Amino acid sequence: AQSVTQPDIHITVSEGASLELRCNYSYGATPYLFWYVQSPGQGLQLLLKYFSGDTLVQGIKGFEAEFKRSQSSFNLRKPSVHWSDAAEYFCVLSGGYNKLIFGAGTRLAVHP
């Protein structure tokens, strides 16, 4: 079965601290993986995507993610968090025919 698991529902970090959001997927073939961010009351914005090739992908706003096939993971990282990064983050798997399978999301709070 195709699925995405984000183990952490809420995460709180201090401004300037590093961040890692976890994501695990289940898919029978090479996955297409994405991270989207949703600010309060807003739509979704694409942070980065992995299709193939280099397993470390760079995105916007200083985010990066690493694809690890052996662990079925696609964790999102940022070395220094800013208060404006407070939002909900979704790990997403493309299940073929462009149909997206979303994780439940991780809500990030940033303390000053």
Partner 1 sequence: NAGVTQTPKFRVLKTGQSMTLLCAQDMNHEYMYWYRQDPGMGLRLIHYSVGEGTTAKGEVPDGYNVSRLKKQNFLLGLESAAPSQTSVYFCASSPWTSGDQETQYFGPGTRLLVL
Of 14, 12, 18, 21, which Cα lies nearest the Cα of 105?
Answer: 21
Indicate the residue among 43 and 112 with the shorter CB distance to partner 1: 43
- Nearest distance from residue 92's CB to partner 1, in Å? 8
57 forms beta bridges with 65
Indicate the residue among 74 and 90 with the shorter CB distance to partner 1: 90
What is the DSSP code (8-state) at residue 76? E
- How far is Cα of residue 53 from the mean position of the Cα atoms in its chain? 18
Alpha-carbon span 68 to 87, nearest angstrom: 25
Binding range to partner 1, per CB under 8 A, among 20-28, 62-70, 72-80, 90-98: 90-98
What is the DSSP code (8-state) at residue 52? S
Indicate the residue among 39 and 84 with the shorter CB distance to partner 1: 39
Per-residue binding string, partner 1, 33-72, x by CB under 8 A, is: -x-x-----xxxxx--x-x---------------------
Among 32, 72, 75, 77, binds partner 1 (CB under 8 A): 32
Contact predicate 83/110, CB 8 Å: yes
